[in-house]
Structure 1
Amino acid sequence: MKSHFDVVVAGFGPSGAVAAGLLGSLGINALCVDQSRTVYDKPRAIAVDHEIMRVFQGMGVVDRIAEHVAVFPPSEYYGVDGQLIKRIDTVPKPYPLGYTPTMVFTQPPVEAALREHAGSYDCVEISLGTELVSFREEPDGVVNVDLRDDGGVARRVTCAYLIGCDGASSTVRTQLGIEYEDLEFDEPWLVVDVRVNEQGIEKLPKVAIQYCEPSRPCTYIVGPGGHRRWEIMLLDGEDPREMQQDQQVWKLLGRWLTPDDGALWRAASYRFHALVAKEWRRGRVFIAGDAAHQQPPFIGQGMCQGVRDVVNLVWKFDAVLRGSANASLLDTYQTERSAHVRQLTTRIKDLGRLICERNPIAARERDARLLREAGGVIRTVTRQEIVPGLVDGLLSASAHAANGTLFPQPRVVHGDAHALLDTVVGDGWRIITLGNEPASSHVREVVQRLGAQLVRLETDGDPHHAVADGVRPAVVELDGVLTGWFDRYRCAGAIVRPDHYVYGVAENATALERELAQLEATLHG
């Protein structure tokens, strides 16, 4: 067995498995450890969005998990007297990132596929049944990591970087002494998953519903196939342990189902929290996923946030380890992810407070206010309006509305077939230019040093046609998504990071040269 790794990942849940898979795809020597030898056989996360599906696409696992993923239907919010007060849905087609913006999934088989993918790389070692006991960063920059397997055998390894993806009770965070900041949301809920049969499916709503009822707020979610979830608020005086017993669960579900309509899969009581770590990094040790943050589940972003964490971190590890960026690039991890998590958690918390109002008078005032603000006609809010972009970190100093947004992934013509953009041009650094805007020799040199792709978007024409300068392949999109994006942001070029966020944009070739020079100086500064 190896004794030294570039990266050690503690935890092999979704975040850890994605981290290990991404590290493997980049050829980075990594070790991933987890105390459990098996995937937890019950669902916890249930929602995934188009940004994360795009990550799974880049990893090559989308087809493998497709049967376990389904479209997330609209969410309808009903008030005190059963009236519709709010509606959340997805943006219409053509979808900006190539996938339905929000989906539901069944976690155990999807997590198993992510684990299998991570283990397919020769440069990644997976050590299950293994506990991270302790770690220590030495003055020379190496992290010593002490491990022990479930047979009691000890092992010491060293690494350049350690990531704690080891959950809400994270050993890594605890040993670092990092505290959570409480964003002031703490409510007791019962989460119930049921495998519903055909008879039961016919009884149930076809859309997701938030029952904003003061007597007992409740969420109903339509999962893939016969999977249905209820999140039910517990009332004062109810014992969480007792309420998760089968007899009590079926009493709570009696509004919708009887035991003849399906089988209980899971019933677990939780306290829904809004917590964010005060630090995400201490030297060469980082935390990600639930180790770094916890949030209420009201738009299903918990797992998505953890995947965003490791995607943000892994490409930066790669750049630093290869010498294409200064180690200070890693400082942007906390800057970017902490701000994003705080902003999104605050928005989710606001939704939660709307849902969880227990005072009947205040709830009626809430209903009247929402209906008044909607002008009597409920406006559909898209879930993507709730999820923010990046506001700080590795972004162009030239302020622009496009900076920090997710760059679209349209369908493009590729040879004789249609494909999504990333499939054609890759997912590292990309510089996308619109139409005939030329690229200077200096731009090409910087692009080469970045290991980037320089791509020309044709608004029409022959996709087989090579660009005159012989450098940039041309792509022709099918649905006008990118053309509309360039028009909306009034630019002719975009610099896109490996995690698909826009670093900066340019209105012409001169501005593009300036932006790339600034980027290179920042990476090597």
Structure 2
Amino acid sequence: MTMSSAATDYDVLVVGFGPTGAVASALLGRLGHRTLVIDRLTGIYDKPRAIALDHEIFRHFDNMGVAEAIAPYVEPFTASEHFGADGQLIRRIDMVAKPYPLGYTPSMVFSQPPVEAELRRHALSFAAVSAELGVALVDLVQQPDRVEAKLKDADGRLRTVTARYVLGCDGASSTVRQLADIALEDLIFDEPWLVVDVRVNQDALAKLPQNSAQFCNPARPVSFLIGPKTHRRWEIMLLPGEDPRQMEQPENVWALLSPWLTPGDGELWRAASYRFHALVAANWRNGRVLIAGDAAHQQPPFIGQGMCQGLRDATNIVWKLDRVLRGTSPDALLDSYTAERKQHVIELTGKIKAIGQSICERDPAAARRRDAQILAEGGGKPLALTRQEIIPPLRAGFLSEQDGAARGSLFPQPRIISEGAFRLLDKVTGPGLRVFIDGRRSDSSSFAALCAAYPDLPATAIAPAGTGKPGALEEADGVLAGWYDRHGVVAAIVRPDHYVFGTARNAYELDDLLHDISSRLHGNHNPDLRMEKTA
């Protein structure tokens, strides 16, 4: 149970019940923390906004137990083909090959409204979680041991609730961010675009590209995405002098879509104009108030990472809040949240901006130079990349002090052979703090013995199938064995959000790593837990 103060109504007040708020609430509820989630809207926004997921996020959905519920609304992401100023293929962004490193298709498309509905339903399935819709946050007052939040109900009635922490997942114009006096930093990107969603008639699908595409046409850059079933999306750059509201009108939308479709080819689901921004909060924490999702960052959508970033925020902060609320880690653990997520967002946004600026080049001569450079980088052929290469690791925060191989990267999820069937690793070990050991080593049992002194860091040895190592789980495809070999390590400590705290090349390094993470988790230093070093 949560070690919560009887003086507060809730452990956590989550403001905003979109995907980030729903995931955070569900994770908190599963851990038993009294959570109130509020949203000023009374229902789910019924138009698609986000359209892309990746395997990291789907891994968390699977850990949460919602993967099967959302699967009907999710499909693999097709390759994205980039066409240059003269219509030639210049770049192709695809998925890594099987066996997939995290156990799932690495990139996916989805329909947001039904997925969001399932995420809300899941959050509310926990007795510890309650939701109030049509309720707005008016004010926050921080006290030493709690936050007092003034709420306004739909009928205008004001009341105050108290929580140990507040998590603002309330969007780009976040009230929480403003009340916490957290500034935004401009990462310098501001472009007007029109986003168009069409439900295309079955017989018209063949007229459209069979892969997602970026038309890097200096006359008017356009992105085309293949969504689930017959959902197709166009993101169309608006030109100087075009009125965004006028361009949303159906007759103007169909005129823009005329190279691909006519009005008889499908149903115009929605058209909305946006300014694509690149912004990041200066700090993601002010005392007992934290922010996540669009409240903390906004970025252009060119590789579909906007919602993924928000859910990374939720999975990052919740495991830390859990430990602080239970009293097993000091409040200072929460300081690593900004250090980790802000740098990650800035680095990824920089890569997205570079892709976006390349796509958005309006000068024909510069666009042709861009095309020639990209083709040259590919050795005279269209440059081949994977989306996974674009996502950076964590660089700072709650990571090993030793800058070892794979530190801050995502730990793989191999298929484990269990009772004659295949199960993904997290299904076998759970998603908590874990130590993984290369089970091929003859001395792997001595590594496990080291970990026995740290009861909250359970150890698991894994070896490829057929090696017959006693006490080791068997993996089917050699994913993890290849990972150990590639990085030259024999053990790794993995956080609940699946990021690698640190790696070890031998028993001494593992002992140092265990002592490092334990002392930082518990806010103490106990040299008696360490191996006696001998020359």
Query: Shorter-chain TM-score: what band?
Result: over 0.9
Which of 289, 292, 295 aligns to 2:293? It is: 289
Q: Percent identity between the aligned chains?
A: 55
Number of the residue aligned with 1:119: 124
CA distance in 1, matches of 2:118, 2:140: 29
Question: Pairwise mapping of residues 64-83 of structure 1 onto structure 2 (< 5 A)?
Answer: 64-83=69-88
Question: Which deviates the most, 338-347 or 415-424?
Answer: 415-424
Instruction: Give the match's secondary structure for 2:232.
Output: strand
TM-fit CA distance, 1:148: 1.6
Of the three residues 341, 346, 358, the one matched with 2:345 is: 341
Shift in Å at residue 445 of structure 1?
Answer: 4.0
SS at match of 2:445: coil
**Contact 2:90 2:383 survives alignment (8 Å):** no
Query: Which residue is equivalent to 1:85?
Result: 90
Can you list the C-alpha shifts for 1:274-324, whole angstroms capped at 9, x where unaligned?
A: 101111110010010000000000000000000000110000001111222
Q: Conserved in 2, the CA contact under 8 Å of 1:10 and 1:165?
A: yes
What are the Cα deviations for residues 244-271 of structure 1, in whole angstroms up to 9, with x where unaligned?
0111000000110011111011100001
Alignment partners' CA distance in 2, 1:401 and 1:301? 25
Q: Contact (CA 8 Å) 2:405, 2:489: kept in 1 or not?
A: no
Where structure 2 has 5 or more consecutive residues not aligned to the other structure, the ranges are 1-6, 524-535
CA–CA distance in 1 between the matches of 2:247 and 2:512? 62
- Residue 503 of structure 1, aligned match among 501, 507, 512: 501
Q: Distance in 2 between matches of 1:446 and 1:143?
A: 37
Report if the CA contact (8 A) 1:446-1:517 is conserved.
no
Partner letter of residue 479 of structure 2?
V
What's the CA shift for 1:439? 3.7
Alignment of structure 1 residues 322-337 onto 2, 5 Å = 322-337=326-341
What does residue 314 of structure 1 align with?
Answer: 318
1:367 alignment partner, one of 364, 371, 382: 371
- Using the alignment, how far apart are the partners of 1:23 and 1:462 within structure 2? 40
Distance 2:114 2:480 in 1: 34
Cα distance in structure 1, aligned partners of 2:118 and 2:164: 27
Q: 1:96 aligns with which of 98, 101, 126?
A: 101
Q: Give matches, 1:508-519, under 5 Å.
A: 508-519=506-517
Aligned with 1:393 (options 373, 391, 397): 397
CA distance in 2, matches of 1:479, 1:252: 47
Task: Read off the aligned partner of 1:114 and give its amino acid letter.
Answer: L
CA distances 1:101-136 after superposition (whole Å, capped 9, x unpaired): 110000000000000000000011111111111111
Aligned counterpart, 1:24: 29
CA contact (8 A) 1:425 1:453 kept: no
- What residue number does 1:453 align with? 458
Among 174, 177, 180, the alignment partner of 1:176 is: 180
Amino acid across the alignment from 1:491: V
Say which SS state the counterpart of residue 488 (structure 1) adopts: helix
Task: Give the Cα separation in 2 of the matches to 1:74 and 1:305.
Answer: 21
For residues 92-491 of structure 1, the aligned pairs below 5 Å read 92-138=97-143, 140-435=144-439, 436=442, 437-439=444-446, 443-448=450-455, 450=456, 452-461=457-466, 467=471, 474-491=472-489
AA aligned opposite 1:421: L
Shift of 1:433: 0.5
Which shows bigger deviation, 42-51 or 126-135? 126-135
Q: 1:442 Cα deviation (Å)?
A: 6.6
Secondary structure of 1:413's counterpart equals: strand
Cα distance in 2 for residues equivalent to 1:147 and 1:173: 16
What SS is found at the alignment partner of 1:116?
A: helix
Alignment check: 8 A CA contact 1:412 1:420 kept: yes
Q: TM-score, normalised by structure 2?
A: 0.94
**How well do the aligned residues superpose, as a CA RMSD in angstroms?**
1.4
Counterpart residue number, 1:13: 18
CA deviation string 1:434-478 (max 9, x = no partner): 124124687334431x2x331110223488x862xxxxxx31111
Deviations 1:11-68 (A, max 9, x none): 0000000000100111111110001121111100000000000010010000001110
CA distance in 2, matches of 1:337, 1:513: 28
* CA distance in 2: counterparts of 1:296 and 1:402, whole angstroms: 28
Q: What is residue 53 of structure 2 aligned with on the other side?
A: 48
Distance change >3 Å, CA 322–CA 461, structure 1 → 2: farther
Shift of 1:175: 1.4
Runs of 4+ in 1 over 6 A off after TM superposition: none
SS across alignment from 2:343: helix
TM-score normalised by structure 1 residue count? 0.96
In 2, the alpha carbon distance for the partners of 1:443 and 1:144 equals 45
Q: CA deviation at 1:522?
A: 1.5
The count of aligned residue pairs is 514
| Contact persistence 1:86–1:378 (CA under 8 A) | yes
Deviations 1:347-375 (A, max 9, x none): 00000000000001111111111112222
Tell whether the 8 Å contact from 2:225 to 2:234 is kept in structure 1 after alignment.
yes
Q: How far, CA to CA, are the matches of 2:18 and 2:260 in structure 1?
A: 32
For 1:441 and 1:242, locate their aligned partners in 2 and report how far apart those are by CA, in whole Å.
Answer: 66
* Deviation (angstroms), 1:231: 0.1
- Match of 2:240, SS? coil
Amino acid corresponding to residue 399 of structure 1 in structure 2: D
Aligned 8 A contact 1:442 1:513 in 2: no
| Cα separation, 2, equivalents of 1:377 and 1:365 | 15
TM-aligned CA deviation for residue 90 of structure 1: 0.7
Matching residue's letter, 2:163 = C
* Other structure's SS at 1:137 match: strand
On the 8 A contact 1:32/1:125 being kept in 2, the answer is yes
Deviations 1:184-221 (A, max 9, x none): 11100000000111122111111011000010000000
Cα 1:161–1:17 change in 2 (3 A) is same
Measured in 2, the distance between the counterparts of 1:443 and 1:134 equals 50
In structure 1, stretches of 5+ residues that fail to align are: 468-473
- Which amino acid is 2:415 matched to? R
Aligned to 2:186, the other structure's residue is in SS state strand
User: Is the Cα contact below 8 Å between 1:447 and 1:454 reproduced in 2?
Assistant: no
